[in-house]
Amino acid sequence: MKTSLSHQTTLSFQSYVERQFDTAAELFFEAIKQQPDAIQHVADLYAHVAWMKLPNASQISISGLDDGADQFYARAEYAQQFLTVDVNDIELHVVWRDRFGVQHAMHIPLTSLK
């Protein structure tokens, strides 16, 4: 069976973007694990460098858009991958599903950050 060059290029590009997404999500996830108080307001999320390095093909949505919001939800996704950040009165919850379908989750009680 022959595979067209454009089909190979498309698969290669998608694989490249999936790896980019995982790299950015992993950097963000590990940074929050090391310093969970770095994301206390939605403005902190915007300022976080790893978040801004997601591939251009990613779709990003954020609720709690007031810069001082201390309760917010953010989701970035590409294909089947995603990264979510949920901050509420009780906890910081970060979930990242990588390109292999493995979910990495972190729950940090906010009382431990104060």
Q: Average pLDDT in the 6-30 region?
A: 85
Q: Which two tokens stand for residue 97?
A: 């599903």
Is a pLDDT exceeding 60 seen at residue 2? Answer: no
Task: Provide the pLDDT for residue 90.
Answer: 86
Instruction: State pTM to two decimals.
Output: 0.81
Task: Provide the pLDDT for residue 45.
Answer: 78
Q: Average pLDDT in the 60-72 region?
A: 76
Is a pLDDT exceeding 70 seen at residue 25? Answer: yes
Is a pLDDT exceeding 80 seen at residue 60? Answer: yes
The position carrying tokens 């953010």 is 74
Is a pLDDT exceeding 80 seen at residue 47? Answer: no
